[in-house]
Amino acid sequence: MAVTPLMPVYPRSPVRPVRGEGCYLYGEGGETYLDFASGIAVNLLGHGHPHLTKAIQDQAATLIHVSNLYGSPQGEALAQRLVDSTFADTVFFTNSGAEAVECAIKTARRYHHHHGRPEKHTLITFKNAFHGRTLGTISATDQAKLRDGFAPLLPGFTVAEFDNLDAAKAAIDDHTAGFLVEPVQGEGGIRPASQEFMKGLRALADEHDLMLVLDEVQCGVARTGKLYAYEHYGIEPDILASAKGIGGGFPMGACLATEKAAAGMVIGTHGSTYGGGPLAMAAGGAVLDVVNTPEFLERVTRMGDRLRGALEQMIPNHDHLFESVRGLGLMLGIKMKTDSRAFVTYLRDHGLLTVAAGDNVMRVLPPLVIEDSHIAEFVEKLSEAARQYELPQEAA
Ligand SMILES: *Cc1c(COP(=O)(O)O)cnc(C)c1O
């Protein structure tokens, strides 16, 4: 048999981590990597953070799983904390980002169903968006590489140009249920939406009684220097999908909604065997303990400014490779003049972990607990690698 025991759907790199400590990962053969990928914006507290580790250890020894047949003191406590800290009145816990988006889509459709308008079932989504890999969430994007070979996809999505308010407005029709948008596109290339766009979507949603659904799976949970990125825009969504960083590495997600938006999500309408289990709640609670303080969030902004400043200073020295830096807080991307994927691979061999994204962008997503020394090490090694990097033949 030629197929590998692990279904070969990932082009896995030769990096084979077996241990992590703070901002560093260690490979099978003892290699050291400075981790500015954070498991794709997941390990907010780096690796082996004592508070998160202890919370998971203690909870694992106390109670791991019981199902949603029973009362959940752990889920109630974490939901209350999220409600207290956000726009939301109610929370559904999931195990992943795609499930959080699925719950958000269902909640938006159900809102209109509840009000006797079942024909309003279509979400307006945006070019180059990424919402996950389930059938529903691949149907919500226009990216062929995610969709090819999986037809028939689900109806109920219309794709408009990202950050183009006129396009969003023009896409509204009698079937529109709402908008589904990442305030900062992640996989699409670290593209923050403009103030005008986000405020405009809110206004359109209010005007037409539509749901504004935010996918903050990547940009949420302190990554941008706010607990959720919508806070940068002076607006509030109706529904929000959160995951990745929310568990600090423990698989979990959440769909947050206002009481109004969740009107149709009554008993029996949704569920999950594992969602909101005690172990996940312990992890989520420990992450919030650390990141949801004004001091921590300000620190993310400060470190984001420093990292961005250092990268911007470096760029002119390697302007054959790098074009510009973009992003918010510690969700940064370097727009490259050459293939970002090839460069990310090259950096791995030099002990630096970053993540490629669309639009020839290299994502720089360090743990939120980085120190100045990590920024200095990253920029120094990046600069050194850029000096040595030979442009591939076709780009030279
Ligand atoms: C990663 C991601 C998802 C999917 O999350 P999974 O946990 O992989 O299902 C959805 N939306 C955005 C914006 C993401 O970055």
If you measure from the C-alpha of residue 137 to the centroid of ligand 1, how many angstroms do you get, rounded to a whole number? 9
CB 332 within 8 A of CB 362: no
Indicate whether residue 42 lines ligand 1 (CB < 6 A).
no
If you measure from the C-alpha of residue 215 to the centroid of ligand 1, how many angstroms do you get, rounded to a whole number? 8
Indicate whether residue 96 lines ligand 1 (CB < 6 A).
yes
If you measure from the C-alpha of residue 96 to the centroid of ligand 1, how many angstroms do you get, rounded to a whole number? 7
pTM higher than 0.95: yes
Which atom of ligand 1 lies nearest, measured to the CA of 134? 9
Ligand 1, atom 6: closest residue by C-alpha: 97
130 is in an annotated binding site: yes
If you measure from the C-alpha of residue 43 to the centroid of ligand 1, how many angstroms do you get, rounded to a whole number? 14
Pick from 283, 362, 313, 321: nearest CA to 44: 283
Indicate whether residue 98 lines ligand 1 (CB < 6 A).
yes
Helices 73-85 and 278-291: crossing angle in degrees, nearest 10, is 30
218 is in an annotated binding site: yes
98 is in an annotated binding site: yes
Structure-block tokens of residue 327: 């992003």
Indicate whether residue 215 lines ligand 1 (CB < 6 A).
yes
Ligand 1, atom 15: closest residue by C-alpha: 218
Ligand 1, atom 5: closest residue by C-alpha: 97
Q: What is the pLDDT of residue 391?
A: 62
SS3 annotation, the chain: CCCCCCCCCCCCCCCCEEEEEECEEEECCCCEEEECCHHHHCCCCCECCHHHHHHHHHHHHHCCCCCCCCCCHHHHHHHHHHHHHCCCCEEEEECCHHHHHHHHHHHHHHHHHHCCCCCCCEEEEECCCCCCCCHHHHHCCCCHHHHCCCCCCCCCEEEECCCCHHHHHHCCCCCEEEEEECCEECCCCCEECCHHHHHHHHHHHHHHCCEEEEECCCCCCCCCCCCCHHHHHCCCCCEEEECHHHHECECCEEEEECCCHHHHCCCCCCCCCCCCCHHHHHHHHHHHHHHCCHHHHHHHHHHHHHHHHHHHHHHHHHCCCEEEEEEECCEEEEEECCCHHHHHHHHHCCCEECEEECCCEEEECCCCCCCHHHHHHHHHHHHHHHHHCCCCCCCC
257 is in an annotated binding site: no
Domains of the chain are 17-48+294-395 (3.90.1150.10), 63-291 (3.40.640.10)
Pick from 133, 162, 292, 165: nearest CA to 225: 292
Pocket test for ligand 1, best of 43, 101, 139, 185 (most atoms within 8 A of CB): 101
Q: Which residues contact 56 (CB under 8 A, 6 or more apart)?
A: 250, 279, 282, 283, 286
Indicate whether residue 218 lines ligand 1 (CB < 6 A).
yes
CB 156 within 8 A of CB 121: yes
Which atom of ligand 1 lies nearest, measured to the CA of 132? 4
CB 361 within 8 A of CB 189: yes
Indicate whether residue 101 lines ligand 1 (CB < 6 A).
yes
If you measure from the C-alpha of residue 115 to the centroid of ligand 1, how many angstroms do you get, rounded to a whole number? 30
Which atom of ligand 1 lies nearest, measured to the CA of 133? 9
262 is in an annotated binding site: no
pLDDT in tens, the chain (396 residues): 799 999 999 989 899 999 999 999 999 999 999 999 999 999 999 999 999 999 999 999 999 999 999 999 999 999 999 999 999 999 999 999 999 999 999 999 999 999 999 999 999 999 999 999 999 999 999 999 999 999 999 999 999 999 999 999 999 999 999 999 999 999 999 999 999 999 999 999 999 999 999 999 999 999 999 999 999 999 999 999 999 999 999 999 999 999 999 999 999 999 999 999 999 999 999 999 999 999 999 999 999 999 999 999 999 999 999 999 999 999 999 999 999 999 999 999 999 999 999 999 999 999 999 999 999 999 999 999 999 997 654 444
Q: What is the pLDDT of residue 393?
A: 45
If you measure from the C-alpha of residue 393 to the centroid of ligand 1, how many angstroms do you get, rounded to a whole number? 34
Pocket test for ligand 1, best of 239, 244, 252, 365 (most atoms within 8 A of CB): 244
Structure-block tokens of residue 73: 């003191």
